Chain A
Amino acid sequence: MRVLIIEDEPLASEKLRDSLRRYNPAITVLAVLESAADAIGWLREHPSPDLIFSDIELLDGPVFRVFEEVSLTCPIIFATAYDQFVLRAFRENGIAYLLKPIEYPELSSALQKFERLRSSFAHLSPEAAQMLQTVLGQPTYKERFVVKARGGIYLLTTANIVCIELINEVAVAFDPKGNRHVLPETLSQLESVLNPRDFFRISRSEIISIHYLDKLENYGSDRLAVHLQGVSKVFISSASRTPGLRKWLG
């Protein structure tokens, strides 16, 4: 098996090399590359290896741009220190990864799996590489809230939130069925944890979701009246937030 290692820390690549030798002395490490630029150059000039081990953060930035520029025909196993969002993106796309520090048992089981199911190792397409690149650069937002109920808790996903209103100083989320869910946060806190692509704070006491937008009307010269699906109430934007609202609506 011919393996390529993309890793910018000499000690880490040495350890990986040792572990590979321990797993199977017949494995040849073709090269150890320290930067994305080196990797692009090497991959253009050489035939594809059987397997690539790659770190994510390299001396000259994230490795993903390598795979955007060079289309690969071999599987990659990523080594990552910690980033739960990248991990999730890996898992969702069936991309193999190892957590740093790389333990020998994990490495050997990944290699066994590779030998057994070579075909099931997903190839990293330029699109997937781009997606990972975006995931890495994106701030993350809350996707669900845990809500207290009689006899237990339940999860309220943000996709199920039509709007959030401040009622008697308590933030209350409405779902598409019109049910109310009390959220133990202030609207400012909610505004900062919700994805601004999906939610907009339309006034001091209201946040609305773009996914349940029904109808818009002008309300006076500098405000908008927003109708949401499943809610009879009409939301009036405050004058100072209306320009932002128009921009958000696109």
Chain B
Amino acid sequence: MKRHPKTYLLVALGLLVFCLLLVLLIRLLVAGSFEQFHYYWNAVACMFFYGLLSIGVVRAADRRVGWVNSVGGGWRYARLFGVSAGLYVAVAVASSIGFEWWVMAKPPTRFGTLVFILVYFIIHAVLGNCYIAYRYLAELLKTRELFLLAQQAQTEMQLRQLQQQTNPHFLFNSLNILSALIGKSPALAQRFLTNLTELYRYSLQHQDEEVVALAEEVAFAQNYVYLLEQRFSGAYRFNWQLAPAAVAAGGFVVPTTLQGLLENVVKHNEGSCKVPLEVSIALDEGWLVVHNVVRAKPAVGGSLGTGLRNLRQRYALLTDEPVDIRPEPDSFTVRVPLLKLLAA
């Protein structure tokens, strides 16, 4: 997950205050009286640097161990702390000895090295753990909030699907087309009906599922587009730029992702048979991309953005890559991360 710049600033500030106070405390203890007190600014700088290093090492180790993001576990914490402490002590001791040797021409002694190791271990035990605790709490709060939002989104989504299944506009418009087709061409009517049936079957079948294979979702969306094309006969032009092999290897999406996006396009943009509205559906290196020309029309019911917000929250539950929405004056693009199924 992307960290806010404010987080970095907060951590750095906290560390600085800690260093200032610690040096102050040590100097006060050493001084004994006001006359003998002298503050060492370079000690603060040095401590700040080693503090940052400690935090940096924890972060690097966490990326490998993955403790903070996953609500913990004792063994994983031990590994995180062990790995980061080992790394930190090694780097810090080596750099301190190097500094003394080259700059101050003081060759290392066994005792001095031991002191360094102990001092840096203690520094890391304090700062590293503070940072771990801070990140853990922050992550936990975020996870909880995310779950809360996602649960809400799930409920909203189910409601939306329910509304859509019984959406009078969609249903009656479709029935109207069907009634026109029955007289005109029974074969077309049959085909239209099959598609309509499949549409309802799919949305019923997947309403309780978290993910569905991309290939299935694409077939479903094509079904939906067929119905749209019958209704609007060419007012919207859908360009499917999907290689079958890429779709088959495309992983998973949240059910009704693509169909929902296409529905949005039609809901918010004006089409016309003379100048069809261009919509493209493509795959781009692990992303599903829906792009359309903008020709805004006032939407009937439902405010702009609730569907997209909902989609975003549902994906946040399954991936760290956010659904990328790019509104521009004359085009609208939504990029959805495809979910890769890992071996359990």
Contact = CB atoms under 8 A, between A and B. Distances in A.
A and B physically associate: yes
Given A82-B201, A82-B204, A180-B72, A152 B144 contact: no
A168 B205 CA distance: 34
Interface stretch (A67-75, A142-150, A199-207): A142-150
B218 interface: no
Given A82-B204, A150-B66, A153-B342, A168 B71 contact: yes
A152 B339 contact: yes
B317 A148 contact: yes
In the A-B complex, the 5 residue pairs with the closest CB atoms: A152-B340, A146-B210, A152-B342, A184-B147, A154-B342
A167 interface: yes
A146 B212 CA distance: 11
A103 interface: yes
Interface in A141-178: 142, 145-146, 148-156, 160, 167-170, 172, 178
B140 interface: yes
A146 B190 contact: no
B343 interface: yes
B143 A182 contact: yes
B340 A151 contact: yes
A151 B319 CA distance: 8
Interface in B54-96: 66, 69-73, 75
Interface residues of A, number: 31
A101 B194 contact: yes
Interface string B211-239: 10000000000000000000000000000
Contact of B71 (A103, A149, A154, A170): A170
B151 interface: yes
B340 A101 contact: no
Interface string A35-56: 0000000000000000000000
Interface string A179-192: 11010111001000
B190 A103 contact: yes
Contacts of A189: 151
